[in-house]
């Protein structure tokens, strides 16, 4: 993971975003920043300069820089979890601050993993993603392992239809990025997408 809390690393990253925008803004549908979730060790193994607040501010600074660089393409951040927050019990406002900034900056939100009704996601990012729908673009990624998720409402492994319905109806997703994990992609995703045309 990049040192998002480090101003020197951010400065270089912002230069990269500006260079990419000069070449691709308006020529690509969108650009997405990696997920916010990370695990940082404390004590002697803690990275130099890391604080939860600096991490949050670094993410917001990257959102601003990306929005300023890309004026025509969709700009999005996968905001799923933040160090120091585990909602609803441990709420230090870090994840909520990122979502507030996304609305202010018109930066889309979403996340990796479409895991219908999984408690960790439901308590943390999913309700914030849902509340963002219609205000900013929302994008989700169906990733490796998602088809192995057991839907707590049915007690069964999810299907492509359930993943799609949850993303579209509950999360209000504008963009759904399908992974190609086999055998699920060939056996479920492709037939589902063909039927849905």
User: Following CA atoms 103, 108, 110, 111 in sequence, which dihedral angle do they give, to the nearest 10 degrees?
Assistant: -120
Q: How far separated are the first and last CA of the chain, in Å rounded?
A: 38
User: Which of 74, 92, 81, 4 shows the shortest CA–CA distance to 35?
Assistant: 81
Cα 64 from Cα 197, distance rounded (Å): 37
One pLDDT digit (tens) per residue for the chain, 197 residues? 789 999 999 999 999 999 999 999 999 999 999 999 998 887 778 888 999 999 999 999 999 999 999 999 999 999 999 998 999 999 999 999 999 999 999 999 999 999 999 999 999 999 999 999 999 999 999 999 999 999 999 999 999 999 999 999 999 999 999 999 999 999 999 999 999 87
């Amino acid at each position: 993971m990049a040192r998002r809390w480090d101003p020197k690393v951010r400065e270089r990253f912002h230069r990269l975003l500006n260079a990419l925008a000069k070449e691709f803004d308006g020529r690509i549908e969108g650009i997405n920043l990696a997920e916010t979730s990370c695990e940082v060790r404390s004590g002697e193994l803690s990275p130099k300069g890391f604080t939860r607040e600096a991490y949050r501010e670094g993410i917001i600074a990257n959102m601003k820089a990306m929005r300023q660089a890309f004026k025509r393409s969709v700009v999005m951040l996968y905001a799923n979890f933040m160090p120091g927050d585990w909602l609803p019990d441990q709420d230090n406002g870090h994840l909520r601050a990122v979502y507030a900034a996304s609305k202010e900056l018109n930066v889309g939100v979403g996340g990796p993993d479409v895991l219908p009704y999984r408690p960790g996601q439901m308590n943390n990012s999913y309700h914030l993603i849902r509340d963002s729908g219609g205000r900013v673009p929302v994008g989700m990624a169906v990733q490796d392992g998602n088809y192995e998720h057991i839907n707590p409402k049915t007690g069964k492994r999810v299907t492509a239809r359930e993943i799609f319905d949850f993303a579209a109806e509950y999360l209000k997703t504008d963009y759904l990025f399908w992974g190609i994990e086999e055998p699920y992609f060939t056996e479920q995703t492709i037939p589902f997408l063909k039927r849905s045309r």
